[in-house]
Amino acid sequence: MDFVMESAPGARTIINGRWRDYFAGTGYLGLQGHSGLVAAAGAALNKYGLTTATSRGGYGEHPVLQAVERAAAVFLSQEAALYTVSAYLGSEILLQGLQNEYDRIYVDEVAHLSGRDAASAAGVPVHPFPHANPAALAGALHTTLGRAERPLVLTDGVFPISGEVAPLMDYIRVLSRYEGAILCIDDAHATGVIGSLGRGSLEFASERCGTQGVSAGSDTAVRCYTTHTLSKALGGHGGVIAGSSSFIEQLWRNAHALVGSSPSPLPAAAASTWSLDYVRSHPELREQLWSNVARARSGLRRLGWVLEDSPVPILCLTAFPGVDLAHLKAELFERDICVAHVTRYSSTPQGGALRVAIFATHTDEQIDRLIAEIEKLR
């Protein structure tokens, strides 16, 4: 069956001509159809048109694009930021920008395809390591890294199907033994969602470990860099890399994937600025999301699924005897509830899974109905 979305995605979304409870996708804060975001996009469209029709070099620089970068730098508490047309390009831009600063890449074996594509194109040896396994990473570094060689580790911060948070502090401890080590994090599913200020998986990990001051590009023994997306929880479009002003200038100099690409449409950029400012000034939105996640996790654990306590709004329901996940998804859809059945995607468990996405805008009644219908059908 083909599924066609005919409204802005939110807790209630029109799919195939009917309003349904929507527990799919990545709009975790429920902002994609927010009136403020739509108004910001409309104002930019009316004033500037759709695109600059050129790259940002020469005549293509634009105040709307600069505004996104200022807002992102404030949101992420960095000196500067770089706005990219797509977060998929983030890892490629990062690795190009850091060229000549690493000799081997170590990538989580189920990292997002964008990271694996970027690693393959970097022109240095690439070593996949077992998923979320710091001990295996340590072993790979010990056996493959030559004397004076500098490692770069590439991982998702939050994995898109399993919802796992990468063991970042353990990776930092492993990498701290190697001079010049770099950790690069794809935070697409963490930005705006986890960490006390919504800054993502590195903030979340350092807070859990009681380690203060570890952030993207911080002056620790291990340099950490994070790519963010504005198109998921934040409801906008494009990607962001933040850091010191000198580092952002370095990316502009070295990353031909950046120089040769057109920027995001201006209405989307204006919407992204609005969203960054809105999420920063409305922490209650994130707190409501965490409350909804806790309610959903508790209810699904009662039905037999093993789900850890985590604020991540991705709930991964694996198969167990007597449960046909494809059939369960289809039956839920007939009851106007949308979840995703995933069999092939990065971090999908063997045998597939139902991926349940929780939004800040879901009501208690919607979450309770989801759990009740699953209990009837499983």
Q: How far apart are CA 202 and CA 167, in angstroms?
A: 10
Whether 262 contacts 86, CB under 8 Å: no
Q: How far is it, in rounded angstroms, from Cα 14 to Cα 5? A: 6
- Per the listing, tokens 């994609």 go with 32
pLDDT score at 219: 47
Distance between CA 207 and CA 221 in Å, rounded?
Answer: 18
DSSP string, 224-235: EEEEEESSSTT-
Residue 212: the pLDDT is 56
* Residues 6+ positions from 52 with CB-CB distance below 8 Å: 59, 60, 62, 262, 263, 266
What do you get for the CA distance between the two ends of the chain, in Å?
21
Residue 163 CB-half CA count within 13 A: 26
Non-local CB neighbours of 253 within 8 Å, separated by 6+ positions? 97
Q: What share of the chain is helix, strand, coil (3-state, %, to 5)?
A: 40, 15, 45
Q: For residues 314 and 354, is the Cβ–Cβ distance under 8 A?
A: no
Collect all residues with Cβ–Cβ distance below 8 Å to 126 and sequence separation of at least 6: 104, 105, 106, 107, 119, 120
Q: What would the CATH number be for the domain defined by 39-281?
A: 3.40.640.10
Cα–Cα distances (Å) from 1 to 9, 16, 102, 369, in that order, read 19, 10, 46, 24
Blockwise average pLDDT, block size 10, the chain, 378 residues? 94 98 98 98 98 88 97 98 94 96 98 95 97 98 96 98 97 97 98 98 92 55 96 97 97 87 94 98 98 98 95 95 91 98 88 96 98 95
- CATH architecture for segment(s) 12-23+283-377: Alpha-Beta Complex (3.90)
Name every residue whose Cβ is closer than 8 Å to that of residue 172 and which is 6 or more positions away in sequence: 183, 214, 220, 221, 222, 224
Model pLDDT, residue 216 = 55
Residues 6+ apart with CB under 8 A from 112: 156, 160, 186, 188, 346
The confidence score (pLDDT) of residue 261 equals: 81
Domain ranges of the chain: 12-23+283-377, 39-281
Residue 175: the pLDDT is: 98
Kindly tell me the sign of the dihedral angle through the C-alpha atoms of 323, 324, 326, 332. negative
